[in-house]
């Protein structure tokens, strides 16, 4: 079988599994890849902290692919000679590209776009050659500016609270009531189902949505969250999907603070990502959620919550979650008993005072 390069979806899986401490050999087996491919991929694209980023790895792979393509194309001697000659005459890359199309209309080796010329000058050229050629460009820059402003803010979610401001109790899972949320997308991203997972017990709540715009998502999630006792709805961690644009109103409706993970960082919501993977066993990619009945969604929710988990000491999420509910119930009963005793004591004190 011919080797094929890792794609973005595989890199996302590598990132999720690696962040969970899964060994490269197990990751390779799950993806049907060689161990050396997985090991090399992680080592090549890990940051200074040793964390592997799928998006960074994908960007570098695409850059390498573009660079290799450009090198083969621009290194054609006759083509490169003409580009150099025209640059020294202060021709712009766009003028050069137009000249080549006009002069060599039937020669594919001489066809090149102005973007290819710019990229070659700024990416492939090195040292003295780069300095010499870029000075012939009108702007004389050694680096090309991005085509869109770096500080672009259009489309961003307003008033986001970063995951870095999340209380420490959320990260170490010592206190229940902190959730992770997401959408499982349907065919062509036209339909979706909401997912909520409690971090301590792994208890999942699936949310049927008629639409996956911001208002529908807010109301659907709020309706589910509002059914929970207050001690089990403290916060929710979400990605930066636009469907959570009304998070401020959601917090007002539910008293649940929303924290947003970094872009392209699914490991920051690992519990939810893992749960979504389990959901795909029941609702594979391409599912049209508009055709899924609420009873079916509830059946899948129950199936997930009644499955024993090793991380819970082989309890089910349902058993762990119900234990929390029972604990709260007992605390309320104890509190009510203490109040009754206090009232009785106050009454006795009043009686004694009256007797005196």
Q: How is the chain split into domains, by residue range?
A: 1-64, 75-144, 163-317
241-270: pLDDT as tens digits: 999 999 999 999 999 999 999 988 888 999
Q: H or E element: which one contains 45?
A: helix 35-45
Asked if residues 138 and 92 have their Cβ atoms less than 8 Å apart, the reply is yes
| pLDDT in the model for residue 115 | 76
- φ, ψ of residue 145 to 5 degrees: the values are -70, 150
91-149: pLDDT as tens digits: 888 888 889 888 988 887 788 887 777 776 665 454 555 555 565 565 544 444 444 44
| pLDDT in the model for residue 45 | 85
- Distance (Å, whole) CA 251 – CA 257: 6
Count CB-CB contacts under 10 A for residue 276: 21
pLDDT: which is higher, 84 or 297: 297
- Distance (Å, whole) CA 178 – CA 192: 23
- Reply yes or no on whether the pLDDT at 319 is more than 70: yes
173-229: pLDDT as tens digits: 889 999 999 999 998 889 999 999 999 999 999 999 999 999 999 999 999 999 999
Question: 40: closest CA among 30, 52, 48?
Answer: 52
- Reply yes or no on whether the pLDDT at 343 is more than 70: no
- What percentage of the chain carries pLDDT values higher than 90? 38
Count CB-CB contacts under 10 A for residue 258: 22
pTM of the predicted structure, to 2 decimals: 0.55
- Reply yes or no on whether the pLDDT at 348 is more than 50: no
User: For domain 163-317, which CATH number applies: 3.40.50.300, 1.10.287.470, 1.10.8.420, 3.30.420.10?
Assistant: 3.30.420.10
> How deeply is 205 buried, as exposed, middle or buried, from its count of CB atoms within 10 A (0-12, 13-18, 19+)?
buried
Count CB-CB contacts under 10 A for residue 11: 21
Tell me the pLDDT band of 1, cut-offs 50, 70 and 90: very low
């Amino acid at each position: 079988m011919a080797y094929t390069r890792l794609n973005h979806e595989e890199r996302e899986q590598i990132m999720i599994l690696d962040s969970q401490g899964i060994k490269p050999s197990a990751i390779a087996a799950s993806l049907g890849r060689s161990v050396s491919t997985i090991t090399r991929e992680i080592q090549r694209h890990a940051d200074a902290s040793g964390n592997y980023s799928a998006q960074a790895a994908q960007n570098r792979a695409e850059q390498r692919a573009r660079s290799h393509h450009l090198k083969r194309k621009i290194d054609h001697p006759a083509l490169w000679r003409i580009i150099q000659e025209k640059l020294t005459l202060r021709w712009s890359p766009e003028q050069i590209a137009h000249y080549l199309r006009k002069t060599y209309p039937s020669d594919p080796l001489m066809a090149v776009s102005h973007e290819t010329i710019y990229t070659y000058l700024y990416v492939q050229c090195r040292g003295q050659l780069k300095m010499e050629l870029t000075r012939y460009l009108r702007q004389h820059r050694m680096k090309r500016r991005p085509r869109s402003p770096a500080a672009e803010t259009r489309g961003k979610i307003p008033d986001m609270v970063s995951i870095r401001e999340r209380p420490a109790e959320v990260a170490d899972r010592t206190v229940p009531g902190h959730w992770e949320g997401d959408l499982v997308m349907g065919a062509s991203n036209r339909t979706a189902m909401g997912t909520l997972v409690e971090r301590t017990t792994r208890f999942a709540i699936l949310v049927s949505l008629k639409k996956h715009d911001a208002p529908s998502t807010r109301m659907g999630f709020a309706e589910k969250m509002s059914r929970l006792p207050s001690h089990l709805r403290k916060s929710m961690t979400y990605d930066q999907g636009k469907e959570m644009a009304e998070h401020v109103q959601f917090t007002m409706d539910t008293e649940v603070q929303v924290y947003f993970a970094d872009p392209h960082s699914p490991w920051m919501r690992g519990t939810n990502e893992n749960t979504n993977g389990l959901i795909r066993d029941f609702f594979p990619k391409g599912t049209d959620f508009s055709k899924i009945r609420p009873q079916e969604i509830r059946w899948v929710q129950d199936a997930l919550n009644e499955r024993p988990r090793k991380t819970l000491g082989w309890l089910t999420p349902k058993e762990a979650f119900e234990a929390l509910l029972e604990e709260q119930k007992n605390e309320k009963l104890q509190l009510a008993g203490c109040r009754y005793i206090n009232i009785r004591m106050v009454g006795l004190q009043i009686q004694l005072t009256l007797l005196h």
